[in-house]
Amino acid sequence: MQSDKGMDVADPKDPVFKSLVKDDLLQTKWESNLALDASLHEALLVQSVLGHAQKGHKIFNEGGMQYPSATISDIIEAADLEVKKVKALRQDLIDQVFEWVELAKRDRTNRLVVDERPLLGIELLRGYQVDPEYVLKGMVLAGTMDNHGWREATIKRYRNTIHGQPLLIGGGETYLIDPNKLKEERPFFLEDLTFEEASAEKIGELKQKEIIITGDNPDAEVAYIRRKKGPGTSDDAAFILMGEMYKKEGWEKSLSAFLGGFIVDGVDTYDKCTTRPVEGGYDEKIGTDIRAALPSLVSDDEITTLIYYSAKSNGQRLVSSSHKRLIQVVVNADPKLPTLLHHHKFLDTGRHAPFRVGFERMPSSEFYRSVSERIIHYHKHH
């Protein structure tokens, strides 16, 4: 990738990198009005700083620097935070979701809390009464929608967009890599893996070189490797569509599926840096574990339907918000709610406030118009 910025390999001890990381984290914290337990802000926001460092955004843009192969551990260490402590905090949030799933499978909870703590530390989840079966449905859908195999199955089933053009859905897979071996291969190799298509043969080669490793390696870091070029899916649209798919079952079930999808999407954020990383990610593990225990809960057709209607390229363009943006209060909107609740308001009422969606700052009028088009098509054909 060409850039007018200086490009360098991230070194947590480099004074320039440390200064940029600390300033960016400080600004990101200041800008973010999060519906999240304050003790978790840094554990989440280091991931935003990672994105800024890799792409040369925010403070890194002002500093004229870009670090394409930075890892989240590089960011944590440069910020003078304890890598083990941050990883443990994030792992604990994921473990609580798995604990909740076990309760839900036995129909022993109707609240999104474990030990009186809201899942993922998101206080707004505390007040909801939910149908655990439909939360689990949303979790399965969210746990499968990023899977490369399921996206390929969706293309095979549908072939064309709602406008009759060939359907294209890009995607990749989550692997565990040895960051030291990765940097030995060549500078910015991680960037190549993220943006260029990797064949099955290439994956095999990376395993042979011990760049892709197993979770028992203490140096394991999570990396996304692209398998197919093209736009992926919109998480925002997916949550709304999950709720829409079960709307006929009643308001509580619709809300439950919507929130289940959102929670697993949050897991997909936190699992990028944990004490026990897993290949494929914890979001996929949740989906496969629930399906193994409850095989009739969600059908294959429901999974491919959800992927189809949330695909960014299927109809008018869509954007996708990060977990941080979903729980960030939109201060310029009326009412001042996190983006997630604006999406639920639209699902529930069809109305929405004017605001900007995602990093691309797509006008909400355009975003919801595109989602509405998909919903109309869905009801005509299902």
Identify the pLDDT of residue 214: 80
- Computed on alpha carbons and rounded to an integer, the radius of gyration of the chain in Å comes to 20
Average confidence score pLDDT of the chain: 93
Taking only the tens place, the pLDDT of each residue in 56-95 is 999 999 999 999 888 899 999 999 999 999 999 999 999 9
Paired with 173 in beta bridges are 225
Reply yes or no on whether the pLDDT at 1 is more than 50: no
Taking only the tens place, the pLDDT of each residue in 214-235 is 877 777 888 888 889 999 999 9
Looking from the CA of 299 toward its CB, the CA atoms found within 13 Å total 4
3-state secondary structure the chain: CCCCCEECCCCCCCHHHHHHHHHHHHHHHHHCCECCCHHHHHHHHHHHHHHHHHHCCHHHHHCCEECCCCCHHHHHHHCCCCHHHHHHHHHHHHHHHHHHHHHHHCCCCCECEECCEEHHHCHHHHHCECCHHHHHHHHHHHHHCCCHHHHHHHHHHHCECCCCCECCCCEEEEEEECHHHHHHHCCCHHHHHHHCCCCHHHHHHHHHCCCECCCCCCCCEEEEEEEECCCCECHHHHHHHHHHHCHHHCHHHHHHHHHHHHHHHHHHHHCCCCCCCCCCHHHHHHHHHHHHHCCCCCCHHHHHHHHHHHECCCCCCCCCCCHHHHCEECCCCCCCCEHHHHHHHHHHHCCCCCCEECCCCEEHHHHHHHHHHHHHHHHHHC
CA 282 to centroid of chain Cα atoms: 11
In this prediction, residues 187-198 reach a mean pLDDT of 76
Identify the pLDDT of residue 2: 47
In this prediction, residues 230-254 reach a mean pLDDT of 97
Reply yes or no on whether the pLDDT at 320 is more than 80: yes
Looking from the CA of 215 toward its CB, the CA atoms found within 13 Å total 13
187 band by pLDDT with thresholds 50, 70 and 90? low
**Which has more pLDDT, 217 or 250?**
250
Identify the pLDDT of residue 216: 76
- Rounded to whole angstroms, the Cα distance separating 112 from 133 reads 12
Identify the pLDDT of residue 199: 86
Residue 302: both structure tokens together:
């429901």
Domain edges within the chain:
6-81, 90-161+233-381, 171-228
Taking only the tens place, the pLDDT of each residue in 338-356 is 999 999 999 999 999 999 9
Strands 171-177 and 221-228: antiparallel
- Rounded to whole angstroms, the Cα distance separating 192 from 212 reads 15
Residue 11 sits at the vertex; the CA angle it makes with 94 and 46, to the nearest 5 degrees, is 30
Strands 356-357 and 65-66: unpaired
- Closest by CA to 32, choosing from 19, 17, 11, 48, is 48
| CB-CB contact of 135 with 129 (8 Å) | no
CA 83 to centroid of chain Cα atoms: 21
Reply yes or no on whether the pLDDT at 186 is more than 80: no
- Could you tell me the pTM of the whole model? 0.94
Give the least confident one: 31-45, 99-113, 221-235: 221-235
Reply yes or no on whether the pLDDT at 3 is more than 70: no
